[in-house]
Chains A and B, each alone.
Chain A
Amino acid sequence: AQKITQTQPGMFVQEKEAVTLDCTYDTSDPSYGLFWYKQPSSGEMIFLIYQGSYDQQNATEGRYSLNFQKARKSANLVISASQLGDSAMYFCAMREGPNGNQFYFGTGTSLTVIP
Chain B
Amino acid sequence: DTEVTQTPKHLVMGMTNKKSLKCEQHMGHRAMYWYKQKAKKPPELMFVYSYEKLSINESVPSRFSPECPNSSLLNLHLHALQPEDSALYLCASSHSTGLAYEQYFGPGTRLTVT
Instruction: Let me know if B99 and A43 touch, CB within 8 A.
Output: no
Complex Cα–Cα for A33 and B97 (A): 11
Residues of A within 8 A of B33 (CB): 103
Does more than half of chain B's interface fall in helix, strand or loop, or is it mixed? loop
Known pairs A42-B107, A43-B107, A45-B92; A100 contacts B98 (CB<8 A): yes
Contact B42 A91 (CB under 8 A): yes
Checking A37, A45, A95 against B99 with a beta-carbon cut-off of 8 angstroms, the contacting residue is A95
A86 within 8 Å of B (CB atoms): no
Contact with A47, one of B56, B102, B108, B110 (Cβ below 8 angstroms): B102
Name 23 A/B residue pairs within 8 A (Cβ), A-sorted.
A33-B101, A35-B103, A43-B90, A43-B110, A45-B105, A46-B105, A47-B102, A47-B104, A47-B105, A50-B102, A53-B99, A91-B42, A95-B101, A96-B99, A99-B55, A99-B97, A100-B96, A100-B101, A101-B55, A101-B97, A103-B33, A108-B40, A108-B42
